[in-house]
Amino acid sequence: MIWQIARKEIHHNLTTLRFVLTIIILPVLFLANSLIYSLGGYGYTAQVNTYNQQVAQNRNHIRDYANKGLAELALIGPGEIPKRPKRLTFCADGADKLIPRSVKMQNLGMLSREDYQWRPPWILEYPLKNKGGSVMQRIKIDWVFIGVLMSFFAILFTFDAIAGERTRGTLSLMMSNAVSRGQVLLGKYLGAFVTLMVPLIISILINLLIIHFFGNIPFAFEHWFRILGMVGLFALLVSIFIFLGLFFSSRVSNAITSLVWLLLTWVFLAFIFPSLLGTFVGNLNPIPSADEAVRQKYAQLGQWYDEYRPFGRSDGIPPKLSKAASTEDPEATSLWADFLTKEVETKTRFSDGHIDQQFRQVQLARDLTQISPIATFQYAMEGLANTGIVSYTNFVKQARRYRQTFIDFIKTEDQGDPKSLHIYPVKEGLSQKPVDPDAVPVFKEQISYRSVLTQVMLLVLFNLLFFIIALVSFLKSDLQ
């Protein structure tokens, strides 16, 4: 009986104008997506070529300084670490163009005095990204955008599913047969679900064919698995709004009222609610500007400079660092090591702290906005595509672990040289011997999908919740 009701709904949907609009709009959007992300400025092949060049430059950088000696490599650092381009950006853009594509682990600074010169060791820096660009570059017709429209299509196919039959008087006639209200609800749900998912899947297949063959984006088994997961996310989102449509359709007396309430709810969940919460979180815990963070950092550094006085003083007071670091003077070298360690720790604390504040603010906003199933769908899509702020956060965390791995490597290699003073991070306190470039640790970005599991569970819970409220509402509603 459920399938008979579903077949009746599918047949009815196929004869409506909204279905015609759906089968026109969906392929057009997916075609636009494939053209923008495969032939437009997002060209994956060009990004990969640039990335490979950056990786080669990084290895050459390490090789050059490793051949000069362990001390030189220790002070200059492992160079710039690029972020790998993502093949599935066309699925969930995540504003990746506005997110830095690298971190810098290199020191090019040089401070000098008349009788000697010294270099502060490298630190991990997070380059700012220029957020400029044309309006066209900011328009993202990715799968997330299409998913939001699919939720809109879901309410268009369900706003009159029950209210319309009640108005026409066919609902009471249907219920006069040996069929339960639960069967009617599930039949109408399946009818709307199949009507929406079939053209969606066909459009996705066309999109993938164009992306693969014309965009020259190869897909491994892992990527096909993730794409399959994204189709599942589409299904969960569409299902949620079908249940929501059935709920409102069963609560009101006519289809127009149902449509009005559904449109208001959809606009609130898709646009108003996430924007309001984002503004609230931003005002709740404002983050200091980059200029303010720099001022705070140099105020702290000024205290160390006043204490150690590496530049000397005009009042004639002898500086604490009055002697140059050298292999013959371990005491002076250790004093320089204390100063440089405090300088690096200060710079690192402020640099890491400032970006961590931004990460915490973004994460808080994401946690709150997941009350909306549309926001949850977006974050899950970005998680599977490994794009957006979560991808960059994981990249930064891995870069920090690599920072410590590199330092540990320098210290371990230095212990093997009996002529070294083993004083890090001063050049004169470390081994001057060359080091094998192939032995230097290589940064490898790993992908984590743990955060996606939470969002998938939330989407499943939304489905169960909206199914229950739709069923209870229909059970308590009048047939006429």
pTM for the model? 0.88
Lowest mean pLDDT among 106-120, 172-186, 287-301: 106-120
Is residue 58 within 8 A of residue 78, CB to CB? The reply is: yes
pLDDT at position 343: 86
Q: Does residue 130 carry a pLDDT above 60? A: no
Instruction: Give the pLDDT mean for 236-263.
Output: 93
Structure tokens at 48: 């990969």
Q: Does residue 113 carry a pLDDT above 50? A: no
Instruction: Give the pLDDT mean for 140-166.
Output: 92
pLDDT at position 438: 94
C-alpha gyration radius of the chain: 30
Is residue 425 within 8 A of residue 121, CB to CB? The reply is: yes
Distance CA 29, CA 140 (A): 11
Write down the mean pLDDT value for the chain. Answer: 86
Q: Provide the pLDDT confidence category of residue 440 given band limits of 50, 70 and 90.
A: very high
- pLDDT tens sequence across 319-329: 677 777 888 88
3-state secondary structure the chain: CHHHHHHHHHHHHHCCHHHHHHHHHHHHHHHHHHHHHHCCCCCHHHHHHHHHHHHHHHHHHHHHHHHHCHHHHHHHCCEEEECCCCHHHHCCCCCHHHCCCEEEECCCCCEECCCCEECCCCCCECCCCCCCCCHHHHCCCCHHHHHHHHHHHHHHCCCCCCHHHHHHCHHHHHHCCCCCHHHHHHHHHHHHHHHHHHHHHHHHHHHHHHHHHCCCCCCCHHHHHHHHHHHHHHHHHHHHHHHHHHHHHHHCCCHHHHHHHHHHHHHHHHHHHHHHHHHHHHHHCCCCCHHHHHHHHHHHHHHHHHHHCCCCCCCCCCCCCCCCCECCEHHHHHHHHHHHHHHHHHHHHHHHHHHHHHHHHHHHHHHHHCCCHHHHHHHHHHHHHCCHHHHHHHHHHHHHHHHHHHHHHHHHHHHCCCCCCCCCCCHHHCCCCCCCHHHCCCCCCCCCCHHHHHHHHHHHHHHHHHHHHHHHHHHHCCCC
Q: Is 177 exposed, middle or buried (0-12, 13-18, 19+ CB in 10 A)?
A: exposed
pLDDT at position 110: 45
pLDDT at position 316: 54
pLDDT at position 393: 92
Distance CA 150, CA 27 (A): 12
- pLDDT tens sequence across 18-67: 999 999 999 999 999 988 887 655 677 788 888 999 999 999 999 999 99
Is residue 249 within 8 A of residue 159, CB to CB? The reply is: yes
Most confident of 37-51, 217-231, 234-248: 234-248
pLDDT at position 418: 92
Distance CA 263, CA 254 (A): 15
pLDDT at position 55: 93
Q: Does residue 175 carry a pLDDT above 80? A: no
pLDDT at position 128: 66
Instruction: Characterize 434-469 residue by residue with b for buried, 16 or more Cβ atoms within 10 angstroms of its Cβ, and e for exposed.
Output: ebebeebeebeeeeeeebbeebbebbeebbeebbeb
Give the residue with greater pLDDT, 278 vs 142.
142
Q: Does residue 194 carry a pLDDT above 80? A: yes
Q: Does residue 172 carry a pLDDT above 50? A: yes
Dihedral sign from CA coordinates of 366, 369, 370, 372: negative
Is residue 260 within 8 A of residue 252, CB to CB? The reply is: no
pLDDT at position 292: 82
Distance CA 129, CA 216 (A): 27
Q: Does residue 451 carry a pLDDT above 50? A: yes
Q: Provide the pLDDT confidence category of residue 416 given band limits of 50, 70 and 90.
A: very high
Lowest mean pLDDT among 166-170, 237-241, 471-475: 166-170
Q: Does residue 213 carry a pLDDT above 60? A: yes
Distance CA 210, CA 43 (A): 13
Instruction: Give the pLDDT mean for 173-190.
Output: 85
Instruction: Give the pLDDT mean for 234-250.
Output: 96
Lowest mean pLDDT among 72-81, 164-173, 413-422: 164-173
Lowest mean pLDDT among 15-24, 177-186, 260-269, 387-396: 177-186
Q: Does residue 111 carry a pLDDT above 50? A: no
Cross-strand bridge partners of residue 117: 112
- pLDDT tens sequence across 341-373: 888 888 898 889 889 988 988 888 888 899 999
Distance CA 479, CA 252 (A): 11
User: What is each CA distance from 28 to 23, 150, 154, 199, 395, in whole angstroms?
Assistant: 9, 14, 18, 12, 34
Q: Provide the pLDDT confidence category of residue 116 given band limits of 50, 70 and 90.
A: very low
pLDDT at position 139: 59
Is residue 191 within 8 A of residue 6, CB to CB? The reply is: yes
Give the residue with greater pLDDT, 292 vs 437.
437
- pLDDT tens sequence across 278-309: 778 777 777 877 778 788 888 888 877 777 77
